[in-house]
Amino acid sequence: MEILINEERIDYSLERERTLLEVFDGLRAWLTREGYVITSARCDDTELDLQGKERLSGILVEEIDELDIEVEQVSGRVLANLRTLRSYFSLLAGLLDRRDFAALGELLRGHAQVRESLDAILEESGIAAPGLSAAELERLVAAGSRPDGASEARSELVAFAERLARELTARIDEIADPLGSLRRVSAGLKASIAELADVPIMLQTGKDRDAMAAIVRFTEVTGSVVRLIPLLPAEAPPIVPTDFNAILLQLVDAFIAKDSVLIGDLLEYEIAPRLEKLSAYVDLISKER
């Protein structure tokens, strides 16, 4: 199978991929790291529905001669999508607050399109916040958008819309000014490195909740940096190796097992050195620009 991206043949080695869906998952992960998003695809001159996962999983790699993919830089496309969503949810929250159900009815005429695209847009933009999903939105709209609905349901929908608007604004700011955002997150990265050193002691002294909070802060700040680096107008070095996720999964397993020795070893010998390199790169790129 030959793979073309924007009509250019690429040297992409398949490993264990057997279906077209598995190929797309691998390509999407690689392109995301490089700062690109897939906009369309054709398989042997047949247009593909990128959301039709069941159909893609039924197409075997050995049946394909040519896969032609169109991509564009993530910043422009995602920024436009995020701004559209932010406007929608900010307006939704405002209309609910004012109990303007006539205008709300007009707004919700486009609700199906928002619902169908929400998960994909959040995924491609790197927003992974618990409870923010199309399924949750559908549930809340059904209960909280009626004039005769309970005020508690309406308040819950307002809280959802306002929270999502805040998440969208934060990601918009990252994409619009990645270098500025990287500089702002740099201090948090250094603080996280220092805090991780205390996690084994927290666990040994029964402060499990504090230890978990430190790990959560570490994953959030690291995630922000990793999202920002592909947006910079510079080639990012391999500062986050492909085995990093595997190490984080080991850390989760160690937490579940309450193995403070393994947690300490992972933090000191595996995670901390990688974070130090990451912090040094953030400092370097910030000074250069």
Which tens digit of pLDDT belongs to each residue from 207-253?
888 888 888 888 778 777 777 776 765 554 444 555 666 787 788 78
Largest CA distance in the chain: 63
- Band (pLDDT 50/70/90 cuts) for residue 137 is very high
- Band (pLDDT 50/70/90 cuts) for residue 157 is very high
Query: Is the Cα torsion angle 275, 277, 278, 280 positive or negative in sign?
Result: positive
Lowest mean pLDDT, pick from 25-34, 65-74, 241-250: 241-250
Q: Is the pTM of this model over 0.75?
A: no
Mean pLDDT of the region 128-146 = 88
Quote the CA–CA distance of 42 and 125 in Å, as a whole number: 23
Output helix, strand, coil percentages for the chain, rounded to the nearest 5. Answer: 70, 10, 20
Which tens digit of pLDDT belongs to each residue from 197-208? 888 888 888 888
Which tens digit of pLDDT belongs to each residue from 81-126? 899 999 999 999 999 999 999 999 999 988 888 988 898 888 877 7
pLDDT at position 85: 93
Long-range pairs of 51-60 with CB within 8 A, sequence gap ≥ 24: 51/120, 53/21, 56/19, 56/20, 56/21, 56/24, 57/19, 57/20, 57/21, 57/22, 58/19, 59/19, 59/20, 59/21, 60/18, 60/19, 60/20
pLDDT at position 21: 87
- Give the rounded percent of residues in the chain with a pLDDT score beyond 70: 91
Q: Is 285 or 85 the better-scoring residue by pLDDT?
A: 85
Lowest mean pLDDT, pick from 12-21, 52-61, 280-289: 280-289
Residue 174, pLDDT > 90, answer: no
Nearest 5°: the CA angle 184, 218, 194 is 85
pLDDT at position 289: 56
Mean pLDDT of all residues belonging to the chain: 83
pLDDT at position 236: 46
HSE-CB for 174 with a 13 A CA cutoff: 24
